[in-house]
Amino acid sequence: MADEDKITAGGEVEEPRIGVYVCHCGLNIGGSVDCEALALEASKLEDVVVSEAQLYTCSEPGQERIKSDIEKHNLNRIVVAACSPRMHEPTFRQCVQDAGLNPYLLEMANIREHCSWVHLHDRASATEKSKDLVRMAVSRARLLEPQEEIDIPVKQKALVIGGGVAGIQAALDLADSGYEVVLVEKEPSIGGRMAQIDKTFPTMDCSICILAPKMSEAGRHPNIELMTLTEVVNISGYVGNFNVTVKRKARYVTEDCSACSECSKACPQLSPNEFDIGLATRGAIYIPFAQAVPSKYLIDMESCLNRNGVRVCEKCVEACERKCIDFNAVDREECFDVGTIVVCTGVDVFDAREIPQYLYGKAPNVITSLEFERLINAGGPTGGNLIRPSDGNIPKTVAFIQCIGSRSEKTNPYCSNVCCMNTIKDALLIKEHWPETEIKVFYIDIRAFGKGFEDLFQRAKKEGVQFIRGLPGEVIELKNGNLRLLGEMTLLNKLYEIEAEMVVLSIGLKPSIGSEVIRKFLTLSITSGGFFMVAHPKLRPVDTATRGVFLAGCSEGPKDIKEAVTQASAAAARANIIMRRGKVTVEAITPRVNRELCAGCGACVKVCPYQAIHLDGDKKAVVVEAACSGCGTCGAECSFAAIEMRHFTDDQILAQIDAFTEHEAEKKILAFCCNWCSYAGADFAGIGRMQYSSEVRIIRTMCSGRVSTAFIEHAFARGIGMVLLSGCHIGDCHYIDANTHAEKRFNKTRRIMRQAELDPSRLELVWVSAAEGQRFQEKINSMSKKLKTIPSEEIKSAMKYFGDRERKRLEKLRRGASDVNA
Amino acid sequence: MGKALDLFEKEEFYKCLQCAICTGSCPVARVVEGFNPREIILRYILYGEEDEVLGMKEIWNCATCHACQERCPHNITISGLLTHIQNLAAKKGNLPDTMKAAMTLMAETGWSIQATPRSDRVRTELGLAPLKRPDTAEIRKIFKEAGLDEILDLK
């Protein structure tokens, strides 16, 4: 490799020759930062050979300039001051690699998301801050070393979680591409919400008619292993090599079942049928619906007379000709490995009882839109007759109320996306069967944004459906079971009192409860509404921040069938890319152990979330690279400086701290941010242009667990005003639980400060998810206020105290090292 | 005006969707034509028609029953806004005579309803002690703090 040439015989990297490239990013950076002044300032820094500002560094000419400069000036380190490394680090790594430099010799200064975008109206401060950010980047760049990445093989098998229409589509696409697929569904049949719906909008297709062929195809596909009544109980590992454990619940009916239905007829028990949302009953032995896949019966042990192993009823056993009933069946766990995962965990519906003034659950003729689907469905409990639950009559007036549980701070803050069109479709269905029915739709806004949606909306109006702007304040039940709606028609500025024989509440969608478990295993982030967050909302709309894990369907956000299917095919294609390649490259950020310095104390072994470190026969720590994810918490725990975290070394981080604490450190805040959550959260604040105070300087580590108490103490010894430690929320850590060690170190340092009679509130801790830009903004603003109140005496005392501590610690280390060498 | 009277947060009103649940829930809107909390939010906050709204006589019809606020999907403090508007309107001279009379009585006697000679007689007949005159000096202090001195023509 080219970079190996640059390593001298003694293993010493040759003198750094650094090129600094400041990007205007049009006005994105140039509008708030004086880029020319910044480039000039950078040119004065030690070891900087070239420094210049460019309009767009990521552009072809921008990259060409870097490449030619590397050649011309023999540069061996590149600093790009531009956007977030989460955005363009891969671009520039490729760029320097093309020019023959090791990609790890690139460093980025984030002067856009963390500077120009969050200090839009304070050019002077933003420019000063950007100078610090470049100083930090240059200091780190000076110490960067070439690294070699390793490839790991990818298992040619995929897991699809959730068997709704998205999961079915993703599984079929992957299976058709030739990969083995495990499709896991917690219900007894695949089909999901789409199977429950009568017709689809805007085409008015019969939902189950178009879904059932896909369901059976998934059921019989040679590459798909269908696991229904199955839940994921654990996922470990990483891209290419996920280890999955599932719990397969007992069905009590064997594979031989021919779905003849004799057992169900014989069953003496009755339970509400979940598929019909309790509007119909089923036996304890049942099939969820006619088109269910697999087409096999099952026993609900909660309602079977033979529960708890007591045999009192043999009716189904006697009725079953093929002898398929097995009361001895038990739940069992199964483990398998997959290379990629597509998450399609779908949605639950809003519980309309949360809005008591609309009387759902109290007045029988107030139903939900999902119940409506079952009532209007020819295969449903009423054979497609829309009847009033109170008296079985067909209503002559029906009122739909929109936005139930959606667009509300009290319930779900987001728009559920499908309810407007669903109601329009429902209204047309009523008109189709009973044209004389008077239909009123009470709404806030009608959102008919998709292809063909507007046409359907117009059609409903033409057919006489009345759209009334203004939701009822309350619904009153009358003696005859009718409902009186009280509200205001905002378009007429007039109050109404309208009577309807039936009220349909257009309920919104919310994240599926089961998806919380999946989220934990896969360390996925969620957006404010509780849905999974994609890696980039525009350009990586089905990827997650966890490599090898993709999203499809409503688990990512409420969407209609077409969108869910589109996303599923996209997710399958993305998973396909990883598996087709057959290998993934892992970043060279794993630790190296200096055996001479290692004291064999085993502290690193204790904190490693992956059991990737052990002590060998000589009581020296050994890292298993394939198991390590590079969080760095071992490095932070080692008191003997025996562990070097590649690309995030102690020296590099300390150099970053030194670079901006040279002047006026007491007026600055140091923030440690983890790559996955809090750094991304700070990026999110930038993207959202959430303005905050400019004192903060961010140092990125992979995990908050990387942050050693020595870094924090060093910053205080250098006279820093305040320090913020930040990471993923507890339970959301991308390295299992490495952030809990960050919390311990935070508490420890605060304790030390208290004992030394220093102000412990100068060190703060905050958990910020990738979606919580505002939380980051608020934290920095509150710290900025506090910063201005810290007396200089306090700063000085901390400098002295932590300076002494550091000197003692280093002395001890040196003594230890010389002992070893002796 | 004292801070205690600012019972609402302007920011939260930008969440208003004009869904009209407030007006639909309002018992006053059912009987008083022209009283419409949704419209007040729209005009006063979203359209910025402050002067016009402060001059409306209907703003004094709010019963402060909080039904609008309780049912608002965004938890917007609509009753708080109405109180705020009434406070500002009063300063601008938009204060109904009945209200003025009631407040003047309160300032001068300490009572919101005047004790009549008849009520004194009835009390004597029932063997009850005569009503104690409240300490109006205290009340006047509160009125002064609240800025009511400038609005009312007090003796």
* Domains recognised in chain B with CATH numbers: 3-91 (1.10.1060.10), 97-151 (no CATH)
Report d(CA A740, CA A752) in Å as an integer. 19
According to the model, what pLDDT value does residue A179 have? Answer: 98
According to the model, what pLDDT value does residue A10 have? Answer: 38
Mutate to test the interface with B, among A404, A492, A495 (most CBs of B within 10 A): A495
Average pLDDT over residues A388-408: 97
**pLDDT for A593-604, tens place per residue?**
999 999 999 999
B46 in contact with A, Cβ within 8 Å = no
Q: Which of A463-472, A777-786, B85-94 has the lowest mean pLDDT?
A: B85-94
Task: Please state whether beta strands A241-248 and A230-238 pair in parallel, antiparallel, or not at all (unpaired).
Answer: antiparallel
Collect all residues of chain A within an 8 Å Cβ-Cβ radius of residue B21: 471-473, 487
Closest by Cβ to B17, choosing from A444, A474, A493: A444
**Is there a single domain that holds both residue A733 and residue A796?**
yes
According to the model, what pLDDT value does residue A237 have? Answer: 85
Is it the case that residue B44 has pLDDT exceeding 50? yes
DSSP string computed for A349-383: EP-GGGSGGG-TTTSTTEEEHHHHHHHH-TTSTTT
Name the band, by pLDDT with cuts 50, 70 and 90, for residue A820.
Answer: low
A window 343-382, beta carbon within 8 A of B:
357
Report d(CA A140, CA A18) in Å as an integer. 11
Q: Which helix (H) or strand (E) holds A157?
A: strand A157-161
According to the model, what pLDDT value does residue B152 have? Answer: 86
- What's the CATH code of the domain at A601? 3.30.70.20
> ipTM score of the complex?
0.86
B43 in contact with A, Cβ within 8 Å = no
Question: Taking CA atoms, what residue in B is nearest to A411?
Answer: B73
**Is there a single domain that holds both residue A160 and residue A241?**
yes
CA B92 to chain A, closest CA, distance in angstroms equals: 27
Report d(CA A188, CA A297) in Å as an integer. 9
**Is there a single domain that holds both residue A290 and residue A237?**
no
Average pLDDT over residues B54-73: 95
According to the model, what pLDDT value does residue B135 have? Answer: 86
- What's the CATH code of the domain at A520? 3.50.50.60
Report d(CA A99, CA A73) in Å as an integer. 12
Mutate to test the interface with B, among A410, A490, A493 (most CBs of B within 10 A): A490
A486 in contact with B, Cβ within 8 Å = yes
B25–A474 CB contact, under 8 Å? yes
Closest by Cβ to B73, choosing from A408, A472, A489: A408
Residue A263, domain member (yes or no): yes
Q: What tokens appear for A57 in the block? A: 């560094």
What are phi and psi for residue A320, nearest 5 degrees? -85, 110
What are phi and psi for residue A528, nearest 5 degrees? -60, -30
Q: Are A759 and A753 in contact (CB under 8 A)?
A: yes
Where does a domain end: A121, A149, A177?
A149
**Residue, of A516 and B82, whose pLDDT is higher:** B82
CA A245 to chain B, closest CA, distance in angstroms equals: 42
**pLDDT for A649-684, tens place per residue?**
999 999 999 999 999 999 999 999 999 999 999 999
Residue A601, domain member (yes or no): yes
**Is there a single domain that holds both residue A621 and residue A698?**
no
Average pLDDT over residues A764-783: 95
Collect all residues of chain A within an 8 Å Cβ-Cβ radius of residue B22: 473
Name the band, by pLDDT with cuts 50, 70 and 90, for residue A821.
Answer: low
A window 637-656, beta carbon within 8 A of B:
none
Question: Taking CA atoms, what residue in A is nearest to B12?
Answer: A409
A411 in contact with B, Cβ within 8 Å = yes
Closest by Cβ to B25, choosing from A410, A445, A473: A473
Collect all residues of chain A within an 8 Å Cβ-Cβ radius of residue B38: 488, 490
CA angle A28, A773, A91 (to 5 degrees): 50
Report d(CA A732, CA A525) in Å as an integer. 8
**pLDDT for B51-60, tens place per residue?**
999 999 999 9
CA A434 to chain B, closest CA, distance in angstroms equals: 30
Residue A505, domain member (yes or no): no
According to the model, what pLDDT value does residue A582 have? Answer: 94
Question: Taking CA atoms, what residue in B is nearest to A489?
Answer: B20
**Is there a single domain that holds both residue A577 and residue A594?**
no
**pLDDT for A176-201, tens place per residue?**
999 999 999 999 999 999 999 999 99
How many pairs of residues across A and B have Cβ atoms under 8 Å apart?
66
**Is there a single domain that holds both residue A366 and residue A458?**
yes
B89 in contact with A, Cβ within 8 Å = no
Backbone Cα Rg of chain A:
31
Q: What amino acid occupies position A584? A: V
Q: Are A365 and A389 in contact (CB under 8 A)?
A: yes
Residue A201's domain comprises 151-249+331-346+512-583
Based on the structure, what is the number of domains in chain A?
A: 6
Buried b (16+ CB within 10 A) or exposed e, A156-173: ebbbbbbbbbbbbbbbbb
Q: Are A650 and A699 in contact (CB under 8 A)?
A: no
According to the model, what pLDDT value does residue B116 have? Answer: 84
Q: What amino acid occupies position A690? A: M
Name the band, by pLDDT with cuts 50, 70 and 90, for residue A757.
Answer: very high
Contacts 24+ apart (CB under 8 A), A254-259: A254/A324, A254/A325, A254/A326, A255/A296, A255/A324, A256/A322, A256/A323, A256/A324, A257/A295, A257/A296, A257/A297, A257/A322, A257/A324, A258/A322, A259/A287, A259/A295, A259/A296, A259/A297
Question: Taking CA atoms, what residue in A is nearest to B23?
Answer: A488
Residue A564, domain member (yes or no): yes
B18–A410 CB contact, under 8 Å? no
Residue A722, domain member (yes or no): yes
Task: Please state whether beta strands A18-23 and A77-82 pair in parallel, antiparallel, or not at all (unpaired).
Answer: parallel
**Is there a single domain that holds both residue A493 and residue A561?**
no
A493 in contact with B, Cβ within 8 Å = yes
CA B23 to chain A, closest CA, distance in angstroms equals: 6
Where does a domain end: A583, A609, A635?
A583
CA A402 to chain B, closest CA, distance in angstroms equals: 10
Name the band, by pLDDT with cuts 50, 70 and 90, for residue B1.
Answer: very low
**pLDDT for A101-154, tens place per residue?**
999 999 999 999 999 999 999 999 999 999 999 999 999 999 999 999 989 899
According to the model, what pLDDT value does residue A816 have? Answer: 78
Residue A507, domain member (yes or no): no
Name the band, by pLDDT with cuts 50, 70 and 90, for residue A537.
Answer: confident
Is it the case that residue A587 has pLDDT exceeding 50? yes
Collect all residues of chain A within an 8 Å Cβ-Cβ radius of residue B29: 488, 495
User: Residue for token digits 């310095």?
Assistant: A597
**Is there a single domain that holds both residue A672 and residue A799?**
yes
A493–B29 CB contact, under 8 Å? no
Where does a domain end: A644, A660, A689?
A644
Mean pLDDT of chain A: 94
Closest by Cβ to B73, choosing from A409, A472, A488: A409
Name the band, by pLDDT with cuts 50, 70 and 90, for residue A629.
Answer: confident
Q: In a 3-state reduction of DSSP, which class is residue A175?
A: helix
CA A657 to chain B, closest CA, distance in angstroms equals: 39
Q: Are A380 and A421 in contact (CB under 8 A)?
A: no
**Is there a single domain that holds both residue A311 and residue A364?**
no
**Is there a single domain that holds both residue A36 and residue A74?**
yes
B20–A474 CB contact, under 8 Å? no
**pLDDT for A656-665, tens place per residue?**
999 999 999 9
Picking from A170, A189, A136, A220, the residue whose alpha carbon sits closest to that of residue A295 is A189
Average pLDDT over residues A143-167: 95
Average pLDDT over residues A371-381: 95
- What's the CATH code of the domain at A70? 3.40.50
According to the model, what pLDDT value does residue B111 have? Answer: 87
Is it the case that residue A819 has pLDDT exceeding 70? no
**pLDDT for A52-90, tens place per residue?**
999 999 999 999 999 999 999 999 999 999 999 999 999
A488–B17 CB contact, under 8 Å? no
- Exposed/middle/buried for A124, CB within 10 Å: 0-12, 13-18, 19+? exposed
Residue A776, domain member (yes or no): yes
B28 in contact with A, Cβ within 8 Å = no
Residue A122, domain member (yes or no): yes
**pLDDT for B89-137, tens place per residue?**
998 999 999 999 989 999 988 888 888 889 889 999 999 988 888 888 9
Mutate to test the interface with B, among A401, A403, A488 (most CBs of B within 10 A): A488
Q: What amino acid occupies position A440? A: K
**Is there a single domain that holds both residue A475 and residue A542?**
no
Which residues lie below 8 Å from residue A384, measured CB to CB, with a gap of 6+?
A376, A377, A378, A433
Is it the case that residue B2 has pLDDT exceeding 60? no
Closest by Cβ to B38, choosing from A407, A408, A488: A488
Average pLDDT over residues A778-786: 97
Question: Taking CA atoms, what residue in B is nearest to A415?
Answer: B17
Name the band, by pLDDT with cuts 50, 70 and 90, for residue B150.
Answer: confident
pTM assigned to the model: 0.85
Picking from A101, A122, A86, the residue whose alpha carbon sits closest to that of residue A13 is A101
Name the band, by pLDDT with cuts 50, 70 and 90, for residue A528.
Answer: confident
**Is there a single domain that holds both residue A636 and residue A657?**
no
